[in-house]
Amino acid sequence: MAPSTVFMEPDNLLTPKEKNKLRKPVVEKMRRDRINSSIEQLKLLLEKEFQRHQPNSKLEKADILEMAVSYLKQQSQLQVKGPFHKSSQFDFREGYSRCLQEAFHFLSLHKVRTETQTKLLSHFQK
């Protein structure tokens, strides 16, 4: 087998501008591949959502991105509503409990119990 010679210019013979021209298409292809891969992953992650909105249709990349943005906005709004409701409920209970403790403390400071104090303590304990 005869040795084959392939002419390759050493890197040090190329100017930086020439190196950039050679590298640019490769870098661009890698960038496009990353974008396409991410779009495909979005499509797989949100497959159920896509089937609900556009069953049996071929989705373009723009469609996938639009639906992903829409879905994320929807989820974001649900999260804002959910925790706020739970937080306000928790705050109400905590405030009520704190108020009850203060009332018990205040009523227990007086050694002489009036009928009103007794009724209030009885009511709070229920």
Is the pTM above the cut of 0.75? Answer: no
> What is the per-residue burial (b if ≥16 Cβ within 10 Å, else e) of 92-106?
eeeeeeeeeeeeeee
DSSP 8-class letter at 11 = G
Lowest mean pLDDT among 2-6, 16-20, 71-75, 118-122: 2-6
